[in-house]
Copies of this chain bind each other. A is one copy, B any other.
Amino acid sequence: MVVGPQPKGDVTCSEVLMSRIPLLRSIARIIIGGGGSGGGEGRPVEVAAPDPVPSVVYLLVNDGSCVSSLQVVIDSSVSPVNQFMAIGTSVLLEGLLKEPSVPGKHVIELQVEKVLHVGTVDLNKYPLTKTIYPVDFLRVYSHFRPRTTTMASVTRIRSALGYSTHIFCQNNGFFNVHMPILTSTDSRGHSEMFQVTTLLGKAEMNTKDDSGELDIINAAIKEKRSRIEQLKRNESDKEALLAALRDLQKANELVLQIEQQKSKFLPSLKDGKVDFSKDYFSRQANLTNSSVLHLESYACALSSVYAFGPVFQAEKTRHLAESWMVELELAFADMEDVVKCAVNYLKFLCQRILESNSDDLKFLSKRKEKTCIDSLQLIKSSSFEKITYTDAVELLKKVTDKTFKTKIEWGMSLAEEHESHLAEAIFKQPVIVYDFPKEIKPFYMRLNDDGRTVSAFDVVVPKVGVLILGGQREERFKSINKRIEELGLPREQYEWYLDLRRHGTVKHSGFSLQFEHMVMLATGVENIRDVIPYPRTPGKLSY
Whether B344 and A280, one on each chain, are in contact in the complex, defined by CB atoms closer than 8 angstroms, is no
A241 interface hit (Cβ, 8 Å): no
A9 interface hit (Cβ, 8 Å): no
Residues of B within 8 A of A507 (CB): 92, 117
A411 interface hit (Cβ, 8 Å): no
Quick check: which of A104-112, A143-151, A380-388, A456-464 contacts chain B, the rest being far away?
A143-151
A203 interface hit (Cβ, 8 Å): yes
Closest B residue by C-beta to A265 = B274
Copies of this subunit: 2
Whether B177 and A533, one on each chain, are in contact in the complex, defined by CB atoms closer than 8 angstroms, is yes
CB within 8 A of A181: which of B158, B284, B303, B322?
B322
Whether A173 and B543, one on each chain, are in contact in the complex, defined by CB atoms closer than 8 angstroms, is no
- Given the interface pairs A64-B301, A143-B499, A505-B90, the reply to whether A280 lies near B194 with Cβ below 8 Å is yes
Whether B2 and A172, one on each chain, are in contact in the complex, defined by CB atoms closer than 8 angstroms, is yes
Whether B1 and A314, one on each chain, are in contact in the complex, defined by CB atoms closer than 8 angstroms, is no
Within 8 A of B (CB), among A339-370: 340-341, 344-345, 348
Closest B residue by C-beta to A536 = B182
Residues of B within 8 A of A273 (CB): 204, 207
Residues of B within 8 A of A263 (CB): 269
Whether B267 and A178, one on each chain, are in contact in the complex, defined by CB atoms closer than 8 angstroms, is no
A65 interface hit (Cβ, 8 Å): yes
- Given the interface pairs A88-B503, A541-B283, the reply to whether A198 lies near B301 with Cβ below 8 Å is no
Closest B residue by C-beta to A301 = B146
Whether A143 and B175, one on each chain, are in contact in the complex, defined by CB atoms closer than 8 angstroms, is no
* Interface mask (A2-25 → B, CB under 8 Å = 1, otherwise 0): 110000000000000110111101
A196 interface hit (Cβ, 8 Å): yes
Quick check: which of A329-337, A402-410, A417-425, A522-530 contacts chain B, the rest being far away?
A329-337
CB within 8 A of A176: which of B120, B162, B274, B341?
B162
Quick check: which of A46-54, A121-129, A225-233, A437-445 contacts chain B, the rest being far away?
A121-129
Quick check: which of A71-79, A131-139, A254-262, A392-400 contacts chain B, the rest being far away?
A254-262
Whether B269 and A267, one on each chain, are in contact in the complex, defined by CB atoms closer than 8 angstroms, is no
In the complex, A348 Cα to B1 Cα: how many Å? Answer: 13
In the complex, A438 Cα to B323 Cα: how many Å? Answer: 36
Whether B543 and A184, one on each chain, are in contact in the complex, defined by CB atoms closer than 8 angstroms, is yes
* Interface mask (A493-531 → B, CB under 8 Å = 1, otherwise 0): 000110110111111000000000000000000000000
Whether A156 and B173, one on each chain, are in contact in the complex, defined by CB atoms closer than 8 angstroms, is no
A152 interface hit (Cβ, 8 Å): yes
Whether B214 and A272, one on each chain, are in contact in the complex, defined by CB atoms closer than 8 angstroms, is yes
Whether A287 and B196, one on each chain, are in contact in the complex, defined by CB atoms closer than 8 angstroms, is yes
A483 interface hit (Cβ, 8 Å): no
A298 interface hit (Cβ, 8 Å): yes
Whether A192 and B198, one on each chain, are in contact in the complex, defined by CB atoms closer than 8 angstroms, is yes
Whether A539 and B21, one on each chain, are in contact in the complex, defined by CB atoms closer than 8 angstroms, is no
Whether A179 and B543, one on each chain, are in contact in the complex, defined by CB atoms closer than 8 angstroms, is no
Q: What's the least CB distance linking A111 to chain B, in Å?
A: 20
Whether B143 and A344, one on each chain, are in contact in the complex, defined by CB atoms closer than 8 angstroms, is no
Q: What's the least CB distance linking A357 to chain B, in Å?
A: 11
Whether A198 and B195, one on each chain, are in contact in the complex, defined by CB atoms closer than 8 angstroms, is yes
- Given the interface pairs A143-B297, A266-B269, the reply to whether A175 lies near B194 with Cβ below 8 Å is no
Whether B193 and A196, one on each chain, are in contact in the complex, defined by CB atoms closer than 8 angstroms, is no
A377 interface hit (Cβ, 8 Å): no
A113 interface hit (Cβ, 8 Å): no
Q: What's the least CB distance linking A65 to chain B, in Å?
A: 6
CB within 8 A of A158: which of B178, B180, B543?
B178
Closest B residue by C-beta to A183 = B543
Whether B534 and A179, one on each chain, are in contact in the complex, defined by CB atoms closer than 8 angstroms, is yes
In the complex, A171 Cα to B160 Cα: how many Å? Answer: 12
Whether A185 and B152, one on each chain, are in contact in the complex, defined by CB atoms closer than 8 angstroms, is no
CB within 8 A of A144: which of B17, B303, B337, B499?
B499
A321 interface hit (Cβ, 8 Å): yes
Whether A90 and B496, one on each chain, are in contact in the complex, defined by CB atoms closer than 8 angstroms, is no
A37 interface hit (Cβ, 8 Å): no
Whether A301 and B194, one on each chain, are in contact in the complex, defined by CB atoms closer than 8 angstroms, is no
A281 interface hit (Cβ, 8 Å): yes
A63 interface hit (Cβ, 8 Å): yes
Can you name 7 A-B pairs with beta carbons within 8 Å?
Answer: A2-B345, A64-B301, A182-B536, A195-B201, A201-B286, A214-B272, A218-B271
